[in-house]
């Protein structure tokens, strides 16, 4: 296995991610299709290779069925990633799994746009469900 050269920092495991803090409330217009678009530039986790922090912009778009994610609980959930060692490609999938389990949307997309690291810009995207026709992939 390849190991990072030089100093590495300790971090927590994925068991520290706290999906149990997520809360929802009822969507009172289940027959009306809407797209909820949530974005924050405060997402952070830790590279499990080096222990260095990864920072990025997180965008979650979804079409609710019957439940909507409560935003304060969403923020608490995101903070639980702060000291967790997780690869970028795994983080986007974990976010999708936890958020979709929480609110059971008709469609959801999660995009993590990480800040430059070593001159490399990474954007990781995943989705589930049927994308509404008026929603672009951008």
> Which residues are part of the catalytic machinery?
47, 54
Output the 3-class SS for the chain.
CCCCCCCCCCCECHHHCCHHHCCEEECCCCCCCCCEEEEEEEEEEECCCCCCEEEEEEEEEEECCCEEECHHHHHHHHHCCCCEECCHHHHHHHHHHHHHHHHCCCEEEEEEEECCECCECCEEEEEEECCCCCCCCC
């Amino acid at each position: 296995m390849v190991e990072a050269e030089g100093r590495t920092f300790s971090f927590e495991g994925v068991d520290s991610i706290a999906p149990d803090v997520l809360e929802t409330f009822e969507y009172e217009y289940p027959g009306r299709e809407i797209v909820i678009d949530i974005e924050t530039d405060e997402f952070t986790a830790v590279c499990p290779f080096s222990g260095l922090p990864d920072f990025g912009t997180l965008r979650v778009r979804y079409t609710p069925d019957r439940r909507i994610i409560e935003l304060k609980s969403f923020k608490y959930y995101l903070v639980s990633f702060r000291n967790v060692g997780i690869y970028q490609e795994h983080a986007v999938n974990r976010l999708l799994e936890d958020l979709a389990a929480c609110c059971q949307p008709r469609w959801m997309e999660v995009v993590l746009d990480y800040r430059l690291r070593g001159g490399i810009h990474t954007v990781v995207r995943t989705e589930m469900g049927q994308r509404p026709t008026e929603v672009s992939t951008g």
